[in-house]
Structure 1
Amino acid sequence: MFRSSPLTSPLVSRRRALGFGVLGAATLAAALTGCGSTTPAGSAAPGAASAGTPSYYPADYSKLLDASKVEGGKLTIYSNTDQENWAPILRDFKAKYPWTKVSADNLDSDEVFQRQLSEMATGKAPADMLVSNAVQAWASYAGKPDTLMAYDSPETKQLPDYAQLMPNVWAMSLDPVGIAYNSALMKEAPTSIASLAKAVAADPASYKNKITTRDVKGAWGFSVSHAFAAGDAGAWTGLDGILPSARPESSSGTQKEKIMAGEYLAGFFISSAVGYPAEKASGGLVKFVLPTDGTVVLGRGIGITPKAPHPATAKLFLDFVLSETGQNAVAEGGLSSYRDNVQLTEGRHTYQEVEKLAGKDGIIRVPYKVVPDAEVTAFVSKWNAKLGN
C-alpha cells in the first residue's frame, strides 16, 4: 500500500493510483450554442469525430473550432507555471490551431486565485483559465460557488481515473517534489530527508542557514510540507534535524537560483517543474532527486473560469493539454505527464517514472481538499518555531 496523508482517505480513487479526489457577436453565440446543446455541462453526444480529431470526439466538434475562430483564438491563462514549462505546450497548441493567441501569466501560487476572485468581484475578469499546483488555494477557490465553468472534456474517458482532481478541475501534470542540491559543494548526495538531516548533524556549522525550504505560510509550501509530515510516520525526526539550519523562500525559482549560486547547499520540497529543468540547464551543477523516505506528488490543476471571455478556445486548450499530443508537450517542458503513451525521450518525465523511482509505497499524495484553519495554524506555528534565525 502507498503511504499517504490521512486527508487522502475520503478521496482515494477506486484504483487507488493517486488519491487526488473525485471528484458578443451573434455568430459566436450561435456557434457556442450549437457545440454545447447536445448534452448537459457542455458535453456533446458521441459519434463520428470531426476531421482531424480522434474518433472518440463528438461529431460536431468542428463547431467548437469555428467558435474559437470567431473569438479570434485569444486565451488568457493565470498560472504559477514558468514560461519554460509552458513553451512546448503553447508551441504545439498553436501548431494544431494556428489562429490561436495564448497568454500565460506566471504569478505566485496564491496570487492566481486572489487575482481571479478580485476581478470577478468587479465584474471584469479577463482570465479564461486557471492553472496551479497550489492544492489548498485550488480547493478553497473551487469550493466557492460559480468559480468554474462546467465542461466535459472528450479526453476524460481516455485518462486514468485520478486525472480529474475535482469537478471541472483536471491534472495538467502530476509533479513530484524533491531535493535539489549543489553537487560541487555537497560531499555526499542527499537521497532522502533523513540523509539530509544526517549530513547536517555531521557538520552543523557548514549547513547553518545553508538549506532552503518553501515558506509554509503560502498555499504551495503548506501543501507539500503538511503532506510529507502527515504521510511519513518518521517525518519529524528528519525535519527536526534540518529545520534549524533552514531558511524559507516563497518560490522554487528563487531557491534554484540560490542553490546554483552556492548561497544554499541544498533545498528540500522543491518542485520538479523547476528541479528537472534546473538540472539540465546547469549541466549537472544542480542535482534533483526524489526522497526515498517519501515523495510528495501534486496535481497541477487546470480549469476554465465561469465567465471565460473566450470559452471555445479555453475548451480547445483543455482538450489539447489532456490529449496525447498535449501530454507529450507537457513532458517536454519539464512537467511530469501521466498518459501511458507519452514518449520517454531524454529529459522527459512521467508519473509512471516517479512510481518506479520512489516506489508506489513511497508516494505521498495530496488531495484537493481544504485543511481546517485550526490545523493549518497549528502546523505553521510548529514548523516556523523550528526554523533557524
Structure 2
Amino acid sequence: MPASSIRWPLRPGGRLARPRRTRLALSLGAAVSAMGLLAACGGGEAQPANVVATGQAPSYYPADYGQVIEASRREGGTLNIYSNTDQENWAPIFRDFRRKYPWVTKISANNLDSDEVFQRVLSEQATSGSPADVLVSNAAQGWAEFAAKAGALMPYKSPEVEKLPDFATLLPNVHTMSIDPLGVAYNSSLLPKEPTSIQALADLVAGDQGKYRNKITTRDVDGAFGFSVSHAFTAARPGAWTSLQRILPLARPETSSGTQLEKIISGEYHAGFFISAAPAYPMIENSGGLLKLAFPKDGTVVLPRGIGMNAKAPHPATAKLFTDFVLSEEGQRAVAEGGLTSYREGVEAREDRHTYQDLVRQVGAGNLVFVKYARVPGDQVKAFVSRWNGLLGH
C-alpha cells in the first residue's frame, strides 16, 4: 500500500477517531468563544507585559514587513483557523494576538480530529474553496501527506525561525507551534509507585497480571496519533519491545487522551502510557492529586504541533502575522499559559506554564524521542500495526 493511500483513522460508519469532546458543541461554540474573549479584551485595558509593541514587528524582522501589517489591516479583521487544539489552549494566544494587532476582531478556531483538519481543507478546496487561513495539527503523517500536495501550503519562512531551534521547522512551510510530550498517566490511589519508565511500568504490571489485566490503556495504533507516537518510540528504542510484550497483553486501546484520562481518574484504568500532556495538565490540576503524569526516562515521546497556512488563505497577511506571533517570544509565553508546552528560550517555566527546557531538565535531552513529520511507507505501517495489535489482550 503506497504511503499516499493511507487515510487515518476511520472507524465503523466512517467516523474519524479521537472523540475528545462533543464536536458539535465545540464547532458551534468555537467562534463564539473566541469572539467573546476578544470583546472582553477591549482597547481600554493596560498593555500586558508579554506583548512587546502594539501593531509593530520586532526590530529583527525584514524592513518590508510593515507591508504585511498594512495588508492585514485591509483584510477585514478576520482569521479562520482549522485545528485540533482546545479552546482553553487558544484563549491566551488569541487574547495577546488581539492586543498586538487590535484590528483583528474576528478569530474563529474549530476543534477537529487531527487528520480531519487536512481532509476538511482538501474537500473544500475541491469545491468552492476553503475559508481556512491557518492549519494547526499534530498529525505528523497527515502533515507530511498534505505538504506533499502541490499548491496545498502557502510558501513561507517565518522571520522568527532564526531565533528558534532546528525543530521549529518541521517541513517546508510548516513550523512548530508547540511541543507535546507524552508520558505515563496514572491514578495515584491505585498504582503503588510512580512508573518512571516504560520498563518500570512493565515490571510493575507483569508482577501481578491478574490485577492489571484490562487496567492499562494505550493509544489505538489504527489511528494517526497512536501510530505516530508508538511507531516513533519503537523505532528509536527497538529494545523497548521487550517491555511492550509484557504491557500490551494487559492493555486496552483508546482513541483519545481525554477519554483515557477520564477513565484513569474514575479508576477504570490504573494507568496509561503515551498520554499527551496537553489535555493532562488541566485535569491533573483539578484532580486533587489523584491524577499524575510521569515522563519516561527510557524515552519520552515528543510530538510537535505543526502550524502552516492554506495556500489560498482568504486572509493571507493576517495568517502570516498570526504564524509569526505564535513563534515569537511573546506568543510562546501565551502558548505556555494556555497549557501547551512552549519551546522558545526566554519563556519561564512555572507551575502553570510548561516548557521544553524544563522537560529537558527532567528527563535529559538524550531521552527525548521526537516524532518526525515524514511519511512512513505503507508496508511498514501495516507491519507495525499488525505486530502491536497482535500483542494486545483480547
Given candidates 330, 352, 374, the residue that maps to 2:379 is 374
Give the equivalent residue in structure 2 for 1:151. 156
Aligned ranges 1:95-110 → 2 under 5 Å: 95-100=99-104, 101-110=106-115
Aligned ranges 1:238-317 → 2 under 5 Å: 238-317=243-322
Judge conservation of contact 1:50–1:59 (CA < 8 Å) in 2. no
CA-CA distance at 1:224 after TM superposition: 0.4
CA-CA distance at 1:51 after TM superposition: 6.8
Aligned ranges 1:137-176 → 2 under 5 Å: 137-176=142-181
Matches of 2:78 and 2:262, distance apart in 1: 33
Question: Secondary structure at 1:62's aligned position in 2?
Answer: helix
CA-CA distance at 1:374 after TM superposition: 0.2
CA-CA distance at 1:166 after TM superposition: 0.7
Give the equivalent residue in structure 1 for 2:185. 180
Give the equivalent residue in structure 1 for 2:91. 87
Matches of 1:243 and 1:354, distance apart in 2: 26
Question: Secondary structure at 2:126's aligned position in 1?
Answer: helix
CA-CA distance at 1:363 after TM superposition: 1.2
Give the equivalent residue in structure 2 for 1:191. 196
Question: Secondary structure at 1:106's aligned position in 2?
Answer: coil
Judge conservation of contact 2:89–2:338 (CA < 8 Å) in 1. yes
Given candidates 72, 76, 81, the residue that maps to 1:72 is 76
Give the equivalent residue in structure 1 for 2:368. 363
Q: Aligned partner of 1:299: which letter?
A: P
CA-CA distance at 1:339 after TM superposition: 1.0
CA-CA distance at 1:50 after TM superposition: 10
TM-score norm. by structure 1 comes to 0.84
Judge conservation of contact 1:50–1:57 (CA < 8 Å) in 2. no
Matches of 2:86 and 2:249, distance apart in 1: 30
Matches of 2:54 and 2:191, distance apart in 1: 56
CA-CA distance at 1:59 after TM superposition: 2.9
CA-CA distance at 1:115 after TM superposition: 1.3
Judge conservation of contact 2:54–2:100 (CA < 8 Å) in 1. no
Give the equivalent residue in structure 2 for 1:54. 58
Question: Secondary structure at 2:110's aligned position in 1?
Answer: strand
Q: Deviations over 1:232-263 (max 9, x none)?
A: 13211111111111111111111111111211
Matches of 1:308 and 1:281, distance apart in 2: 39
Unaligned runs of 5+ residues in structure 1 are 1-48
The number of residue pairs the alignment matches comes to 341
Q: Aligned partner of 1:97: which letter?
A: Y
CA-CA distance at 1:370 after TM superposition: 0.4
Question: Secondary structure at 2:238's aligned position in 1?
Answer: coil
Q: Aligned partner of 1:263: which letter?
A: E
Give the equivalent residue in structure 1 for 2:333. 328
Question: Secondary structure at 1:260's aligned position in 2?
Answer: helix
Matches of 1:376 and 1:204, distance apart in 2: 29
Identity of aligned residues (%): 64
Judge conservation of contact 1:243–1:388 (CA < 8 Å) in 2. yes
Q: Deviations over 1:345-386 (max 9, x none)?
A: 222111112222111221112211100000000101111111
Unaligned runs of 5+ residues in structure 2 are 1-52
Q: Aligned partner of 1:154: which letter?
A: P
